[in-house]
Amino acid sequence: MRGVSAVFFLLITGGVLYGAFTGDLTKIGSAAVRAGQEALETVVGLIGGFAFFGGLIGILEKAGAIGLMSRAMRRPLEGLFGKNAGDEAFEAVSVNLAANMLGLSNAATPMGMRAARLLNAEHASTPSDALCMLLVINATSVQLLPSSVIALRNAAGSGMADAVVLPGLAASAVSTAVGIALCKLLQKREKSE
Amino acid sequence: MTVWLLLFAVVAGIARKVDLFSAFSEGAERGMKSAARILPYLAATLTALRVAESSGLMENLCQALAPVSGWLGLPSGAMPLLIMRPLSGSASLALLGDILRAYGPDSRTGLVASAMMGSGETVLYTCAVYLSAAGIKKSRYIIPVSLAGWIAGCVTAGLFFR
């Protein structure tokens, strides 16, 4: 959270100082005070959309989508992580990624932590190649359904709220592919040194 | 798109003998709670954003970043998201909402910013949570590699809407 606090600090000090030189501090003050009200209005606009997508994903989850997707991903994952990671670790990794794809961060995070623990069974002090891979895939995000984005777009009055699903999926796939490729590249280079 | 997914969900649900109504309501409750949970973070983000915007600082920052945004093929209005997304999920959601309101959700800036959103995560936070679960302090190349992926995803988003 430190990075966010730094941005918070810079925007506020920068804004106030800039405003002191160029113009109207009262205007800045009232804009700041209104922010809470705006936050509330935004959330009210979002609750409906979040309810819809939460419900949709709730059905998919109960229908066993996580289990199905994690089984389908098993083979490709073995190629990425190397076979010596162990069965239990693979299970955790694939459930973590499947839950992430569906946007179920409540289910994804504990599984990801479990996977990280299992991938570091030797209690090494630096992350292994496989653990780096897990983190990079999580940090570059693989999202099938950007539900919060669609909800936000609807709340903003978009006439084509879900027009960004495919481009978003492509962007998400490219970010993850670049992450994976760089991981593999760096792992190879470190080994050859 | 959304409609087909909804249809697929209820058909798959019935086939797997799911109690559709209660599964949907439970999920809806979870969704509504997570919308409500981001309120304090939204308030914090919007406070800082409003101070920066109403003073004119934000506009200047976007202009200063214009060469970078041109080089990446991104609209300059989406640049704040490029910086915020890796730092905080709820703050970047607030920022996206703001961009959509300011430029319109179906403008190029609105569309590109929306498509960017899903291609990244809170890199530092994710890294900290998972590494500390494994009892590790060093992060090797994870952070720069993840950020490179995020930027590649943003460029892809920009290519979709010209």
CA A116 vs CA A78, A92, A120, A138, B126: distances in Å: 16, 9, 6, 11, 11
Tokens of A43: 């959330």
Whether A72 and A22 map to the same domain: the answer is no
Residue span of the structural domain in which A50 resides: 1-62
Count structural domains, chain A. 2
Three-state DSSP at A108 gives helix
**In this structure, are A12 and A93 located in the same domain?**
no
**Min Cα–Cα distance to chain B from A66, Å:** 13
Checking phi first, is residue B135 left (phi over 0); if not, alpha (psi -120 to 50) or beta? left
- The answer to whether position B113 is within a domain reads yes
Greatest Cα-to-Cα distance within chain A, rounded to the nearest angstrom: 63
For residue A143, pLDDT over 90 is answered with no
**Pair (B27, B75) in one structural domain:** no
Query: Chain A residues with CB inside 8 Å of B42's CB?
Result: 39, 42-43
Closest CA to B68 of B82, B88, B84: B82
Which of A9-13, A56-60, A84-88, B140-144 is least confident?
A84-88
Q: Is residue A185 within 8 angstroms of chain B, CB to CB?
A: no
pLDDT score for A172: 95
User: B16 in a domain, yes or no?
Assistant: yes
- A54-71 per-position pLDDT tens digit: 999 999 999 998 888 888
Residue from A148, A182, A191 whose CB has the most chain B CBs within 10 Å, to mutate: A148
Cα–Cα dist A48/A68, whole Å: 28
**Nearest-CA neighbor of B114 among B149, B157, B66, B79?**
B157
Of A13, A42, A62, the position where a domain reaches its end is A62
Tally Cβ neighbours within 10 Å of residue A138. Answer: 28
Helices marked H in chain B? 2-15, 20-37, 39-54, 57-64, 66-72, 79-84, 89-103, 108-117, 123-133, 142-160
Backbone torsions φ then ψ of B137, nearest 5 degrees: -105, -30
Distance from CA of A67 to the nearest CA of B (A): 13
Residue A193 has pLDDT above 80, yes or no: no
**B54: in domain:** no
B97–A112 CB contact, under 8 Å: no
DSSP state of A163: G
Q: Pick A83 or A60 by higher pLDDT.
A: A60
Same domain, B77 and B22: no
Q: Indicate yes or no: CB of B135 within 8 angstroms of CB of A176.
A: no
Q: Which of residues 67-106 of A touch B (CB under 8 A)?
A: 106
Question: Given an 8 Å threshold on Cβ–Cβ distance, is B31 in contact with A54?
Answer: yes
Stretch (H or E) spanning A179: helix A165-192
Task: Tell me, yes or no, whether B84 and B29 share the same domain.
Answer: no
Question: Which residues on chain A are in Cβ contact (under 8 Å) with B73?
Answer: none
Ranges of residues in chain B whose predicted pLDDT is under 70: none
Q: Are residues B101 and B149 in the same domain?
A: yes
The answer to whether A15 contacts chain B (CB < 8 Å) is yes
- HSE of A128 in the Cβ direction (CA atoms, 13 Å)? 18
Our count of domains for chain B comes to: 2
The pLDDT, as a whole number, for residue A1 is 54
Range of the domain at B73: 64-160
What is the least distance, in Å, from the CA of B161 to any CA of chain A?
Answer: 9
Contact across the interface for A149 and B114, Cβ inside 8 Å: yes
Same domain flag for A39 and A124: no
Question: How high is the pLDDT of residue B3?
Answer: 87
Structural domain includes residue B89: yes
Residues of A in contact with B53 (CB under 8 A): 15, 31
Residue A85 has pLDDT above 80, yes or no: no
The answer to whether A126 touches B138, Cβ cutoff 8 Å, is: yes
Q: Which of B53, B134, B154 sits opposite A131 (nearest CB)?
A: B134
Q: B85 and B141, same structural domain?
A: yes
Minimum Cα–Cα distance from A151: chain B residue: B97
Residue for token digits 């900290």?
B128
Among candidate residues A42, A62, A82, the one where a domain is terminated: A62
For the ranges A11-25, A164-178, B142-156, which has the lowest average pLDDT?
A11-25
CA distance A17 to chain B (A): 9
Asked whether residue A29 falls in the same domain as residue A88, the answer is no
- Residue where one domain finishes, among candidates A62, A86, A108: A62
Token digits of residue B6: 């909804």
Looking at the fold, whether B24 and B74 belong to one and the same domain comes out as no
For the cut 70, the answer to whether the pLDDT of residue A145 exceeds it is yes
> Which of B10, B114, B152 is the closest to A168 by Cβ?
B114
Q: Is the domain of A42 the same as that of A86? A: no
Compute the nearest-CA separation of A75 from chain B (Å).
23
